[in-house]
Amino acid sequence: MVNREDLDWRTVEAGGRNIHYGEVGEGPPLVLLHGTGPGSDAWGNFRHNIGPLSESFRVIAVDLPRFGGSEKLSVNQPRLDFLSRSVRDFMDAIGVESADVIGNSMGAQTAMKLAIDSPDRVRRLVLMAPAAVGYSIFSPMPTEAGRQIAGYYKGEGPTRSKMERLLKSLAYDPEFVTDAMITERFEASIEPDVLEINQGAHWSRQSLEGELHRCVAPSLLVWGQDDRATTLDIGLLLLRKLPDARLHVFARCGHWAQAEHADEFNRLVVGFLA
């Protein structure tokens, strides 16, 4: 079991912004990109995976700009353009020419955009439930979890009960969401610099539908059958549209396959990347 303090946490300047990240393990580089949502960061998204993956890889867990320990800054441009460029700048800054990339939700969309714009930088992709297109035939849009995220800083502002509802919308089993998890995410979501950058509208989504054919890296799509953030039909569309993809679906699983089915997820990923 790897704890947070077992990682070598650093901050590097990349592309004119400060990026916080943690490293552990040896071997081929494996970059982990977390999802969006208030209080999200690399350790919170991947705490169940970093230890097992570090037995085979040099694991690099990145706090994307605006999140975790990375620089909090307003972004007035399409978010995937910005985030993929930030990841490329980060890889340049730490001397990683190319890597396998695991992305969760928005992190998966960022990984796809990186592979589209800089195919030489990405070897293989593990993509957990990326909302890479802007529609679903299974669910009203925005989805339940999407509405919770978009409304978190609106109205009365962030509250612990809002955070609880949000996190429970991301899990299949509400008992998976512990009081400690709610408290950790809520406290991260109300830090002064986080509140400041989240005034006003939630930063806009960016569809990759017209670019999917350019995402040529071998890709493993991972979905929860009961995902209420990015519904399964989007995974089926990506399976058809991506040039080299395969899809694994977990039953009785929400948006957090890497946490709700951690052991099987870790074995699946290691097998694919090997």
Catalytic residues: 255
φ and ψ of 10, to 5 deg: -145, 165
Task: Evaluate whether 73 touches 194 at the Cβ level (below 8 Å).
Answer: no
- Rounded distance, CA 90 to CA 95, Å? 9
